[in-house]
Structure 1
């Protein structure tokens, strides 16, 4: 595949999409197009902006895909801890499966050569066994509606690629962190910054993470690399950490040594079960590792940013915004 000159990104104002668009603009491509849902998006003036509605199976994407070489589909109905929808499976299917296939079919009709789909490691499962990191070739075992919807979207995109010849690249990230990260990672930084004692000093699990900069670098590589065509790629920082080690490193990046109490894992799990927080306990104490050897070999790629460098950048952004907030 020749070097793309026109790239269109959905979810362009999200955590990953915004960083990707910023990198694409820096590459000075002739066309960087972004789908946004509202004005005041804050994107670079060099970006062509197309207004779209919420993800729906009947969206018209003609203006978005016209003249485009590669579509990067970042937009999704994301996983939420406190689900409020009456039928979560239907909501996820609508946004992550039907809407994705609708966009991809219109991309085919417009002559788009490659479709890069941001999926999720949740397609593989919620946790990996000790010494057995997930591989892209493993059978999927999603456990929640979000993971199930991503798996279904992957399958339909593969079928579309086989029918039409449009290349599809599926990228399954693990937990993404970086400047501006929200949710649990942000809460963790707040706890550490405040010096809150945490009962997490004896967690000996192993978890893969991926820095935003590393994920964006891989996505840029996937735009044109011939080895990426019709592949499923796992991505991480290639340096797995225990929850305890992660807390220590984040504390160091913040300049606030982590105050960790060595509570045994079995006791944490028992207490979490009693409090109805089993899933949260699994994320803290369980392992989730991925093997990215295939990704690195196919694309001759390595994560350009180390874990400690990425944590410093994440912590610095948090501290700077706290100062001005």
Structure 2
């Protein structure tokens, strides 16, 4: 089976390509923005330029059976664009649908779209997780663009033989993770006291290797056709629990001060950090029962194993 992975130099795409190359049943090509690389390990990368409504995918799609579309304009905490939604739509909606139309013309049989849990919304009440069948309630421009891309893909595929698979990951972590997750590892590694010792929220996360394993499963599983899947590690943690287990992975002691989450939320709002407060103090859970039952799938990596891999990668490179 010939597979095209877009966003092949990104956090998810690069790991996906690395895993696929070692599987005998797959021939993988990675689509990237800036360079053409014929790597010594046999992985071919094709420069397609920026993801846009005008991107020419003809060369990349030759002979391809399955497209795994991981390229996107990602969520930006402090977006400086005058009209962020318009920019997200141009890349994540119009760019994605342009690829899908060309995929149909090239005879691609399955299109796997890496969407986002932000299509469901920004948070849940503990014990009331999002499901794949929930009515979407995106709030920010990124989530709205992903929802519109999902809808557009379904419309385009309905009149063709193209099967669409949609995967909505929660926060993805693993070796090479950046942003807030990396900052938390740095704080713990330095022994900085953190005011997160009394947070009782519930957050679903997904290890990079668990997400990659699910993506590969959906590439061939007959029951994945035209379905939407949520994905997580299957174990939800509070921020306090996550920090303690992350500290263990780093072989450090976590210094967590028992500050009530309501005080943290009030302080964050005063400092203009409300969205960060939501991530640290709020809950976001997903129900993966459909994913597990329909695909006979289970997350192959435990939370502690995944944290160990992320911590080892960080420690090996922090002084390099």
Pick the TM interval, shorter chain.
Answer: over 0.9
Measured in 2, the distance between the counterparts of 1:245 and 1:30 equals: 38
Show the counterpart of 2:69.
73
SS of the counterpart of 2:220? coil
The alpha-carbon deviation at position 48 of structure 1 amounts to: 2.1
In the alignment, structure 1 residue 303 sits paired with structure 2 residue 291:
no
Mapping of 1:160-171 within 5 angstroms? 160-171=156-167
Residue of structure 2 aligned with 1:94, choices 90, 101, 106: 90
| 2:20 is the alignment partner of 1:36 | no
Question: What TM-score, normalized to structure 1?
Answer: 0.96
Check 1:63–1:40 CA distance in 2 against 1; reply closer, same or farther (3 A cut): closer
Tell me if structure 2 keeps the 8 A contact 1:22–1:44. Answer: no
- 8 Å CA contact retained: 1:38, 1:51: yes
Q: How does 1:177-216 map to 2 (within 5 A)?
A: 177-216=173-212
Q: 2:35–2:46: 8 Å Cα contact kept in structure 1?
A: no
Runs ≥4 residues deviating over 3 A: 40-45
Gaps of 5+ in 2: none
Q: Which runs of 5+ in 1 are unaligned?
A: none
Which whole-Å CA distance do the structure 1 matches of 2:243 and 2:146 have between them? Answer: 30
8 Å contact 2:37–2:44 — kept in the other structure? no
Counterparts of 1:187 and 1:266 in 2: how far apart (Å)? 22
Aligned length: 320
Q: Match for residue 261 of structure 1?
A: 257
* Matching residue of 2:140: 144
Task: Please tell me whether the aligned partners of residues 113 and 167 of structure 1 are also in contact (alpha carbons under 8 angstroms).
Answer: yes
| Matching of residue 225 in structure 1 with residue 202 in structure 2 | no
Aligned to 1:156, what secondary structure does the other structure show? helix
Cα RMSD (Å) of the superposition? 1.2
Structure 2 length-normalised TM: 0.98
Deviations 1:229-263 (A, max 9, x none): 00000000000000000000000000111100000
- Partner of 1:155 in structure 2? 151
> Is 1:176 aligned to residue 185 of structure 2?
no
> In structure 2, the residue corresponding to 1:239 is in which secondary structure?
coil
* Preserved CA contact (<8 Å) 1:250 1:311: yes
8 Å CA contact retained: 2:198, 2:260 = yes
Residue 257 (structure 2) pairs with residue 249 (structure 1)? no
Q: 2: distance between equivalents of 1:121 and 1:32?
A: 27
Distance of 1:171 and 1:31 partners within structure 2: 22
SS in 1 for 2:111: strand
Question: Partners in 1 of 2:161 and 2:131 — Cα distance?
Answer: 25
1:82-127 Cα deviation digits (max 9, x unpaired): 1011110110000000000000000000000000000000000000
1:316 is aligned to 312
